Amino acid sequence: MPILSPLRITVLMGGASAERDVSLASGLRIADALAARGHKVTALDPAVGVLSSAHLDELRRSNVGTKPPGLEELAGLGNGRLLDGLTAMPEVRDADVVFLALHGGQGEDGTIQALLDMAGVRYTGSGHLASALAMDKDLSKVLFRAAGVQTADWLMAPQPGKLVEQSLGLPVVVKPSKQGSTVGLSIVRDISELDAAVAEAFRYDDEVMIERFIAGRELTVGVLGDETFPVGEIKPVKELYDYECKYTAGMAVEEFPANLSQSVTNKLREQSLRAFRALKLRGYARVDFRLDDRGECFCLEANTLPGMTRTSLIPQGAAAAGMGFEELCERIVQLAIV
């Protein structure tokens, strides 16, 4: 890759969503990678302010915890709301590009994207409409179906247990429609557990979905521009690929490229690009699937701001394609300024 002129890049990281800690870990790696490339990088936490180098050093020494921050801790940080006047800050207004390393909440749901559009600031990844669509699993699935992307049957909660059992069968997965990191998600095997699972999910979101459980393998495909990275397989040490598995080294075995037939691989790559286009995504994203034992794949969701930590999947997918982390970050930046 040719050496490109240095840019002023502000990495937005942290925030006050349930995925705050993951975002800090992602943002730190991205900031370090872009600085190593010679860019002028500022790290900014919308829940706190500009992060000093001492603060960044402290983050460098800590790991993402095995549990998401509690609802109380997040309330203390402003409950996912972005800092007032964020786009008036010189670090944002005068940046050549804002690199969005936020995960969840207003950082991922299109709010910050719309604010940056209004301020005329360029940013990485998807625009506000696409971000909002991808964050909403219900709407995503409607669009997936319309575009020929296979996805599991689902209903929006609340629903009578009998109806759920009849139309979806058991088990089902209950999850908040607009959250990430497997927060508030549970598998219901006995219909008597449905209401409690739905109530738990409603603690995190005002919309909850009930989805047919797809037994099988967990696969993921990174998309960059209009290309896909090699398909990855995630093998969690426990049944659910939950927050702890996602962010604790050794809790999941990840295989890139996944051991799949050529036809299943092709299908997954085709379905990923189809999902990417169905939601009008831009720049990069990660599309997640379940693969059942008959070789049918079901798209779970598209992640517009996928994790970029040391153990994250997109960096592993890129590596399997021969692309290092620094180049991945650089390419994401370049896709934002074309």
Residues at the site binding Mg ion, with contacts judged by CB under 5 A: 288
Residue 137's CB: how many other CB atoms inside 10 A?
Answer: 25
Interacting partner of 109 out of ligand ADP, Mg ion, none (Cβ under 5 to 8 A depending on kind): none
Nearer to ligand ADP, 19 or 330 (CB): 19
Nearer to ligand ADP, 111 or 220 (CB): 220
Alpha helices in 77-190 (DSSP H): 90-93, 105-108, 111-119, 128-135, 137-146, 161-168
Shortest distance, position 300 Cβ to ligand ADP, whole Å = 4
Name the residue nearer to Mg ion (CB basis): 108 or 288.
288
CB of residue 275 to Mg ion, shortest distance in Å:
13
**Between 89 and 132, whose beta carbon lies closer to Mg ion?**
132
Cβ neighbours of 192 (radius 10 Å): 9
Q: Which is nearer to Mg ion, 136 or 288 (CB)?
A: 288
Nearest to 48 by CA among 108, 89, 9: 89
| Residue 14 contact partner, candidates Mg ion, ligand ADP, none, CB within 5 to 8 A by sort of partner | none
- Min CB(247)–ligand ADP separation in Å: 12
Cis check for the bond before 68: say yes or no (omega within 30 of 0).
no
232 membership: H or E segment, kind and range:
strand 232-236
C-beta atoms surrounding 69 within 10 Å: 16
On whether the CB atoms of residues 297 and 150 are closer than 8 A, the answer is yes
Binding site for ligand ADP (CB under 6 A): 152, 173, 175, 179-182, 185, 211-214, 218, 240-241, 288, 290, 300-301
* Rounded least distance, CB 196 to ligand ADP, Å: 18
**What residues are annotated to the active site?**
19, 181, 247, 286, 288, 301, 303, 307
Please give the residue whose beta carbon sits closest to ligand ADP in the complex: 241
**Residue 229 beta carbon to Mg ion: minimum distance, rounded to whole angstroms:** 17
Partner in contact with 213, chosen from ligand ADP, Mg ion, none, beta carbon below 5 to 8 Å by kind: ligand ADP
User: Out of Mg ion, ligand ADP, none, which partner does residue 290 contact, by CB within 5 to 8 A per kind?
Assistant: ligand ADP
Residue 112 near residue 106, CB atoms below 8 Å: yes
CA dihedral of 337, 284, 251, 29, whole degrees rounded to 10: 0
CB of 290 to ligand ADP, least distance (A): 5
Of residues 131 and 181, the one with the C-beta less far from ligand ADP: 181
Looking at the DSSP bridge assignments, the partners of residue 49 are 45
Distances (CA, A) of 293 to 93, 141, 238, 249: 51, 22, 19, 28
Angle (CA) 259-134-110 rounded to 5° is: 140
Give the list of residues 6+ apart from residue 91 with CB closer than 8 angstroms, or none: 10, 42, 44, 50
